[in-house]
Amino acid sequence: MIVNKAERHNVIYVFIVLSVIFLSPWLIGFRYQQYTGEKKDMMLIRLVVGPLQVNCFILADEKTKEAVIIDPGDDAQEILKIIKEKGLKVKYIINTHGHFDHIGANRALKDATGAELLIHEGDAPMMASAPMQSRAFGMNTPSSPLADRYVKHGDMIKAGEISLKVLHTPGHSPGGIGLLEQGMVFTGDALFAGSIGRTDLPGGDLTTLLRSIKTNLMTLPDDTKVFCGHGPASTIGEERKENPFLNRQSGFE
C-alpha cells in the first residue's frame, strides 16, 4: 500500500487521539483510586497528597451526592477537581488528628465548599499550631480555620447514606480519632498496615496508643477494611495476625 505524506499524517493523528482516549483511565488511575464501599451507593476515593504522602479520602453518597472529606493534607486543587468532576456536595471536612500533614488543605476546601470542619477537641491546639510544626520539618503548611464543631467518641457524622461513628484513639496524638462505617474504618495515624503511629511527637504516648488500638480497633470484626493515614489499606484480621506491634512483647495483650 502506498501512503502519501498527508495520509501518513492522518494516521499519526488518529493514533495519537486513540492513545489519549484509551490511556486516559490509566492516567486518571494515578490521580486517585476508587474503591467500592460496603454500601451499594457509596463511593470511596483515595488520593495521596502532599510531601508526606497522606491518604486523603473522599467518601460520597452516589445518590444524594453528599460527601465528606477525610484528612485533606494538601493538594486542594486536585481534591476540588474530583469534587467537581463527580458533582459532589461536601458536607464535612474531618481531620483524624491535627498534625500539619493532615490539615493543610482545610482552609482552601472550606472556602470553596462551605463544608463544616470537624476535629476532636484534644487536637484543636495542634491544628492551630500546624504552620509552626510544619516549619520544623522544613515545610510551609497554611493555617487552618477553627473547627466548626468538636466531635467525641461515639458521635455519628452523617451525610446522605454515610454514617461515620467516631472512635477516640489517642496515643499518636491526644485527640486522634478513627471513623467507622459499615465494614470499614479510617484509622488516621493510629494504625497502619504492619505498623502503628509514632508516639515521640508532642502529646504522643505508646501505652495510650496500644490501649486505643486494643479497645477501639481490634474489637472490630476481622473483615473490616482498614484505611490508614499513610500507606496501603489492610484489614483488622490481617493486622491482628501480622502486625509486629500488636503482640505480647510490645506490651499488647
Distance of CA 214 to the CA centre of its chain: 22
Site string for Zn ion, 110-149 (x = CB under 5 A): ----------------------------------------
Mark the segment that binds Zn ion (CB under 5 A) among 33-41, 55-63, 93-101, 159-167: 93-101
Residue 96 per-residue DSSP state:
S
Question: In angstroms, what is the minimal distance from the CB of 210 to Zn ion?
Answer: 16
Would you give the binding string for Zn ion spanning residues 27-66, x where CB under 5 A is met? ----------------------------------------
Our finding on whether 189 is near Zn ion (CB under 5 A) is yes
Q: What's the min distance (Å) between Cβ of 172 and Zn ion?
A: 6
Minimum distance from residue 200 beta carbon to Zn ion (Å): 11
The 10 Å CB-count burial string (b at 16+, else e) for 151-168 is beeebebebbbbebbbbb
Q: C-alpha cell of 153?
A: 467518641
Question: Could you tell me how many residues of this chain bind Zn ion (CB under 5 A)?
Answer: 4
Q: Between residues 61 and 189, which has the closer beta carbon with respect to Zn ion? A: 189
Structure-block grid coordinates of residue 168: 477516640
> Closer CB to Zn ion, residue 29 or residue 202?
202
Contacts of 127 (CB under 8 A, 6+ apart): 95, 98, 103, 106, 119, 144, 147
Helix (H, G, I), strand (E, B) or coil at 17: helix
Stretch 226-245 residues interacting with Zn ion (CB under 5 A): 229
Q: Which residue from 74, 101, 181, 239 is in contact with Zn ion, where contact means CB under 5 A?
A: 101
Give least dist CB 92 to Zn ion, A.
Answer: 20
Residue 161, Cα to own-chain centre: how many angstroms?
19
For residue 48, the minimal CB distance to Zn ion (Å) is 12
CB 102 within 8 A of CB 95: yes
Closest approach of Zn ion to the CB of residue 38, in Å: 25
**Alpha carbon separation from 252 to 85, 145, 215, 249 (Å, rounded):** 45, 37, 11, 7
Alpha-carbon span 20 to 111, nearest angstrom: 34
Residue type present at position 237: G
Binding site for Zn ion (CB under 5 A): 99, 101, 189, 229
